[in-house]
Chains A and B, each alone.
Chain A
Amino acid sequence: MIACHGIGKSYGHFQVLHDVNLTVAEGECFALLGPNGAGKTTLLKILATLERPSTGHYEILGMHGLKDKDAIRANLMFLAHGTHLYDELNAKENLAFALALRGQHPTDLEVKQALDRVAIGAFTDMKVRYYSAGMKKRLALAKAMLAKPKILLLDEPFTALDTAGTDILREYVRERLSENGTVLLSTHDYDKTRPIAGRAGILRHGALEEIAVEALMSDDLV
């Protein structure tokens, strides 16, 4: 579960987030909308323990965001704009490295199944340098599948994914939700988000306003 209490963030005089209050329960997917520069990525980075809020505090799985960082990190996966992949390593090596740093050591079979599931099983020995943006996104998704985090933060997850990739991602999100995971995603792609989001909110001028998921059909939201 994620709980934000009056989160604010400013860079110098520029206020990015202002008094954001948000609760996302276990088994729930919350879609975070907003125009470019609204602060969606900043909020996700704060929750991923990569940035400190200027004001307010947050809890993840009941743990204090500023005091229990390592415990939170062990239960959280952040799929960001950058894919966190090393170009000189191949898919298997990237997965082995990333998961080993989390203290996880999946078997060869598990790795193969994850790579097959994201449909890049035929490219496992190819250096990531030669992957397309969509393939990198799929590999990052495979990493999340193997990590099985309780909290999943997704920043513009549909970017660079084709229709099949989008389906794989949505299926994985549903799986996490069915296992009582918590998913928070930022997006501009309302059509792709609507089938998986239980709740939604829009960030405007750094403040969060909750909206009905049905409103995700509306084109004039942002």
Chain B
Amino acid sequence: MTSFNVIRWIVWKDFVTELRSRETISSMVFFALIVILIFSFSFSMDQQAAREVIAGIMWVAFAFTGIIGLGKSFSSELQNDCLEALQMVPEAKGAIYLGKVAANFAFMFLVEILLFPMFVILFNLEVVEGISILLLIFFLATLGLSAIGTLFSALTVQIRAREVMLPILLLPLVVPVMIAAVEATKGALNGDPLAMYEQWLKLLAVYDVVFTVVSFWMFEFVMDS
């Protein structure tokens, strides 16, 4: 129950500070918009060609946008040495990790939902039928990104070149998420039967469980080191 309270308070704090500062989400949205616009003006595609490449473009934009948010997740704790206060929390550190994952997931998922209509408009996509399965793909892939990304955000926060180190360390580890998300998104956008890309959704779910558990366990060592 106390751990649940810690999770709740961490999420509350991250939401309130973000609502007031608007630093993280605004920079994420702005960055993603630039990426989308660059791609949309760089390629002139019909709908069929767009469906082939849009999934890759979309997840490149989402992943790099997510890294911006993940980087800020713990660097914001350096202000007034608040990270020290988190390190001194008497509860198991896993609760802090889960709170941070929940907040990061919410920010990333929100940005993806805000940006997806831009992809639909600029790349002339028809997605009405597959919207629910697309939301499921977004959910699973974003959970995977935030689960491992939150751990690495904490791991790199005290490093001087953290802005560089976070993507260098994180991106190789999220390759399975990216491949699975791109393949599943491509299938959903093409209107393929679920059975054709179901294995990618299972891979995302397994990745989420494995990396959430491993990161939850490792977080205490990261915070104490």
Contacts and interface: CB of A to CB of B under 8 A. Distances in A.
Interface of A: 48-50, 69-71, 73-74, 76, 78, 80-89, 93, 97-98, 100-103, 127, 136
Contacts of B88: 48-50, 73, 76, 78
7 shortest interchain CB distances as A-B pairs: A82-B81, A84-B85, A74-B90, A73-B90, A88-B17, A88-B20, A100-B9
Nearest to A82: B81
Contacts of A82: 80-82, 84
Interface of B: 2, 5-6, 9, 12-13, 16-17, 20-21, 79-82, 84-92, 224
A102 B9 CA distance: 11
B157 to A, nearest CB: 14
A88 B16 contact: yes
Contact of B84 (A69, A74, A84, A127): A84
Q: Which of A48, A78, A89, A100 is most buried by chain B, counting CB atoms within 10 A of its CB?
A: A100
Contacts of A93: 16
Contacts of A89: 13, 16-17
B46 to A, nearest CB: 47
Nearest to A143: B85
A17 B95 CA distance: 34
A103 B90 contact: yes
B81 A103 contact: no
15 contacts: A70-B92, A74-B90, A76-B88, A78-B84, A81-B81, A84-B82, A85-B80, A86-B17, A88-B16, A88-B21, A89-B13, A98-B85, A101-B6, A101-B89, A103-B91
B225 to A, nearest CB: 9
Nearest to A93: B16
